[in-house]
Amino acid sequence: MAIQWFPGHMAKARREVSEKMKYVDIVFELVDARLPLSSRNPMLDQIIQQKPRIVLLNKADLADPQQTKLWQEYFKKQGHAALAINAQKNKGVKGLIPTAKEVLKGKRARDAARGLKPRAIRAMVLGIPNVGKSTLMNRLVGKKIAQTGNKPGVTKGQQWLRHGTELELLDTPGILWPKFEDEEIGKKLALTGAIKDQLLHLDDLAIYGLDFFARYYPGRIQERYHLTEEQEQGLAPEILMDITAKRGFRDDYARGSELVVFEIRDGRLGRYTLDRCEEMGQVMNE
């Protein structure tokens, strides 16, 4: 399954981001805490280059807290500050400016030595669609300025937003890479809502999600859908059939699939992390 999705406004956004990178001091890179690696656009490293960055693991309230701590350590080993936040509930967001000041401490000291007056930190917010950029912007500026939505591609333009006298933010549209060669990454992104549902079959997505939960969080499916232990231990397609029947959908597996996918996204099956640190030992030890 090779997913291709690179709308024109995303190609334009990539060019604009590259052009405006020189105007910012630091990049706030938002990732989904449920998939900290899979929700990173590999093109961003090329765009950002050596610019300082803070990796923000957003939607941390939906992610496995133990996994989130491990991923924060991973990013720190890569030389990036990393914060776990929940922009929707404004948790962890207050730590962003102090962290940015710490990251830029050397640059600000050099500027002062050159006789430059201190000014607000200029930052760019980057991330793939639907990872929570607009929500973060609204939290930082204290009022609803950035447009928000629960589907990819809501933010279409670019705008500067000010947070008091300490921070100026450049909001940008989400940027997806042209093609997902890795089928696993495509499914992970789709399951969390980063890719439009029309690009995938929801039954395949539901089966992927059920298989994941049965493997890493045993008992969750059984508890949520009132299945037996034996049913939960069956193959994912059989579990989907059992859930569909249990909810009274008869043989409407499309409806059952939609239910499962949206309940996983909403955290109805509990907190989870799709990118597993224990399976990425080689990556973690880089």
What DSSP character marks residue 154? Answer: -
We report the CATH number of the domain holding residue 228 as: 1.10.1580.10
222 part of a folded domain: yes
Residues 56/126, Cβ–Cβ less than 8 Å: no
The mean pLDDT value of the chain amounts to: 86
What pLDDT is stored for residue 271 in this prediction? 98
* Position 11 pLDDT exceeds 80: no
What pLDDT is stored for residue 180 in this prediction? 65
H-helix or E-strand spanning residue 156: none
Residue 26 — φ and ψ, nearest 5°?
-150, 155
> Sheet of 167-171: strands edge to edge?
81-84, 53-58, 26-32, 121-126, 167-171, 159-163
Residues 131/194, Cβ–Cβ less than 8 Å: yes
% the chain with pLDDT above 70: 85
Place of tokens 């009022």: 143
Average pLDDT over residues 145-174: 65
What pLDDT is stored for residue 228 in this prediction? 96
Q: Which range among 13-22, 49-58, 124-133 has the greatest average pLDDT? A: 49-58
Give residue 95's pLDDT band: very low, low, confident or very high (50, 70, 90): very high
What pLDDT is stored for residue 148 in this prediction? 44
Burial bucket for residue 278 (CB in 10 Å: 0-12, 13-18, 19+): exposed
Are residues 163 and 231 located together in one domain of the fold? no
Place of tokens 């995938």: 200
What pLDDT is stored for residue 151 in this prediction? 45
271 part of a folded domain: yes
pLDDT digits (tens, 9 = 90+) for 237-250: 999 999 999 999 99
Residues 41/128, Cβ–Cβ less than 8 Å: yes
Q: Choose the weakest-confidence range: 31-35, 44-48, 127-131, 169-173.
A: 169-173
H-helix or E-strand spanning residue 81: strand 81-84
Please tell me the chain's helix, strand, coil percentages from 3-state DSSP, rounded to the nearest 5.
Answer: 50, 15, 40
Residues 158/173, Cβ–Cβ less than 8 Å: yes
* Position 13 pLDDT exceeds 80: no
Give residue 179's pLDDT band: very low, low, confident or very high (50, 70, 90): low
* Position 47 pLDDT exceeds 90: no
- Residues 6 or more apart from 249 whose CB is under 8 A from it? 255, 256, 259
Q: Is the pTM of this model over 0.85?
A: yes
C-alpha 213: how far from chain center: 19
188 part of a folded domain: no
What pLDDT is stored for residue 282 in this prediction? 46
Are residues 73 and 167 located together in one domain of the fold? yes
How many structural domains comprise the chain? 2
Answer with the one of 149, 179, 209 that is the final residue of a domain: 179
What pLDDT is stored for residue 153 in this prediction? 43
pLDDT digits (tens, 9 = 90+) for 244-281: 999 999 999 999 999 999 999 999 999 999 999 888 75
Are residues 99 and 209 located together in one domain of the fold? no
We report the CATH number of the domain holding residue 17 as: 3.40.50.300
What pLDDT is stored for residue 97 in this prediction? 95
How many whole angstroms separate alpha carbon 284 and alpha carbon 200? 30
Residues 170/158, Cβ–Cβ less than 8 Å: yes
